[in-house]
Amino acid sequence: MGKGSLHIDQVPAEGSIGPSQVFTPSQANSVRWVLFFTRFLEQAGYSMFIPCIPTFAKHFGVSPFQMGLVVSLYPLMQFFFNPILGGLSDRWGRRPVLLMCGAGLLLCNATFSVCTDLTVFAIIRALGGVFAVMGTVASSSISDVVSPAERTKGMAFIGAGVSCGFLAGPPLGAFLDSLGHGFPAMGAAVMAAMYLLLLFFRFPETLPPSESRMEVAREPFLSSLAKGGRLVLRSRFLVVCMIMMLAYGMAAVIWEASLGYYIRGEYHAGNERLYGFMLCFAGFVAAVVQLYLLQKMKVYVREVRLIQWAMLGELIGLAVFCVFVDLVLLFAALVLIAAAYAIVSPTTMALISLHSPKRSRGFVMGVASSMSFASKIVAIPLSTALFEVRTLMPFWVATGFAVVALALAMWVAAIQLRRPDREGKAA
């Protein structure tokens, strides 16, 4: 094993120790950079809308709660359509699906910039969620071009694009919102046009023609999705990973969604700016971990162990925050929580890709991504209800979900380390 690589468990489902298509190191690196900038532009365009929600509610004459319901259509559609479009990428290839999603988001954002009706806005928001599956297809593309030994680093690299986009999007959205209602949507449309052009001119097809791909193409689409679903359910490793992602997502989203309410209650002066600064700080920590620490790691460590350590760090951060109400400790907890997210998300996706057969990898990774969106759909209203019961109640519940996620991570480790030969036989 080359120096500087993470230790990768040998997984029969991968079928070989190399990627599914022969890419030179320079070609694979080019694909990684294209996907990094694509994810950056996509996330920047999406997060530009975050500070504009109150303005949208005022523009359409609805309450913040009603606007929140409309906005929630976006992750709801992502939950349902991630596996579907991931399955289409197994059938058509990654490039056509990415281009279709980019064109769809461009159309949605451009239409929204001139939207004056709430019903039309809700439809546009729902369609935007249908096309916002770039993360699933990008992760599948990374799995196509890098070897298992570089899988976690590749996932972390494009994940850093998301973190950097989250750093840039909200400030830019707030500035454009001050210019007028339609300007943030116009900015997001420009972002969509930029990554659509980048994909069109610089992104090659990463899923090569193969016998397994031809079998998928000949098979009825619903039948192939059902086969992929049965594959997931038959794999104990994949099922436990999916549940672990759901529990971990619940902990992270409840904590993040409740933090703004907590800041407004505990720190009255400049609380909006403090909350915004904390979110930017968390994005910065995540980007540093994904762009530098995971890329430069010299210690050989199994991915399942890395996930456990990261979750343990997050659990410590949550517990410290629940017990000690102190701003300095709050930032220390934020470092642990942001670093854990930066590690757990790409590492888990890398493990899932290793246990997914090539013919259904896009679908399986789409199901995994849907677990994250399911946690957002459930955790955001839950955090509000818990906060009304008691100020620290959401954070204690988040700590409980973190304990469950850590226990599931230990179960994943037991499966991966003790019986690797019994998983992934479907490939």
pLDDT at position 299 is 46
- The region, left, alpha or beta by phi > 0 then psi within -120 to 50, assigned to residue 381 is alpha
Q: Residue 5 gets which letter from DSSP?
A: P
Residues in contact with 116: Cβ distance below 8 Å, sequence separation at least 6, in sequence order? none
Are the C-beta atoms of residues 27 and 146 closer than 8 Å to each other? Answer: no
pLDDT digits (tens, 9 = 90+) for 291-328: 888 877 654 457 788 888 899 988 888 888 777 666 77
Residue owning tokens 């907590």: 262
Q: pLDDT band for position 65 (50/70/90)? A: low
Q: What mean pLDDT comes out for the span 255-271? A: 66
Residue type at 130 in one-letter notation? V
Whole-number pLDDT of residue 176: 86
Please name every residue paired with 13 in a beta bridge, in sequence order, or none if there are none.
Answer: none
Measured CA to CA, the distance from residue 118 to residue 62 in angstroms comes to 9
Q: Is the pTM higher than 0.95?
A: no
Q: What is the pLDDT of residue 427?
A: 39
Across the chain, mean pLDDT equals 81
Rounded Cα distance between 209 and 113, Å, is: 40
Distance (Å, whole) CA 98 – CA 390: 44
Domains (ranges, CATH) in the chain? 23-208 (1.20.1250.20), 229-420 (1.20.1250.20)
Q: For 320-334, how does the pLDDT look when each residue is reduced to its tens digit (9 = 90+)? A: 877 766 677 778 888
Residue 29 in this model has a pLDDT that exceeds 70: yes
pLDDT value of position 212:
56
Q: What pLDDT does 266 receive?
A: 58
pLDDT at 103 (0 to 100): 93
Check residue 216 and give its pLDDT. 65
DSSP string, 206-265: -S---HHHHHHHHS-HHHHHHHHHHHHHH-HHHHHHHHHHHHHHHHHHHHHHHHHHHHHH
- Contact criterion met (CB below 8 Å) for 426 and 357: yes
Q: Given a cut of 60, is residue 359 above it in pLDDT?
A: yes
CA–CA distance, 330 with 320 (Å, rounded to integer):
8
Q: What is the pLDDT of residue 18?
A: 44
- Point out the least confidently predicted range of 18-22, 285-289, 355-359: 18-22
Mean pLDDT, residues 278-298:
82
- Is residue 383 very low, low, confident or very high in pLDDT (cuts 50, 70, 90)? confident
Whole-number pLDDT of residue 51: 75
> What pLDDT shows up at residue 198?
93
What's the pLDDT score for residue 197? 94
Distance CA 311, CA 147 (A): 26
Q: What is the pLDDT of residues 152-178, one digit of tens each?
A: 888 999 989 988 988 888 888 888 888
CA distances from 9 to 17, 31, 200, 259, 343 (A): 10, 24, 35, 37, 17
Q: What is the mean pLDDT of residues 210-220?
A: 65
Task: Give which of 296, 304, 315 is closest to 248, Cα–Cα.
Answer: 315
Could you give the CA distance from residue 212 to residue 214 in angstroms, rounded to a whole number? 5
Neighbours of 1 (CB within 10 A): 9
% of the chain with per-residue pLDDT over 90: 18
Ramachandran sector of residue 4 (left: φ over 0; alpha: ψ -120 to 50; beta: rest): left
The helix/strand/coil state of 1 is: coil
pLDDT the model gives residue 91? 86
pLDDT of residue 268 exceeding 70, the answer is no
Residue 127 near residue 104 (C-beta atoms within 8 A): yes
Residue carrying the six token digits 């439809």: 123
Residues of the chain above pLDDT 70, percent:
85
Instruction: Report the C-alpha dihedral over residues 303, 307, 312, 314, rounded to 10 degrees.
Output: 140
Asked whether the CA dihedral 76, 79, 82, 84 is positive or negative, the reply is: negative
